[in-house]
């Protein structure tokens, strides 16, 4: 009985780990696509247009 419970717990841990890794890989692919799209958009605007990504504080 204890061995059965240990196998079930091991299966749950392996399943959770595999699911988490799959989700992380999917998110990484999405963000790579977004990065490529932003890079392509920047190239379409031309080299003279640079997006200003600085955080501006209200005091300035």
Name which residue leads in pLDDT, 55 or 9.
9
Give the domain ranges of the chain: 1-28
What is the band of 45 on the pLDDT scale with cuts at 50, 70, 90? low
**What's the pLDDT score for residue 6?**
95
In the chain, what are the helix, strand and coil shares in percent, each to the nearest 5?
75, 0, 25
Minimum mean pLDDT range among 7-11, 29-33, 45-49? 45-49
């Amino acid at each position: 009985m204890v061995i059965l419970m240990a196998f079930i717990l091991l299966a749950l841990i392996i399943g959770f780990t595999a699911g988490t890794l799959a989700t992380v890989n999917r998110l990484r692919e999405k963000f790579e696509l977004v990065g490529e799209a932003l890079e392509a958009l920047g190239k379409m605007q031309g080299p003279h247009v640079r997006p200003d990504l600085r955080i501006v504080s209200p005091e300035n």
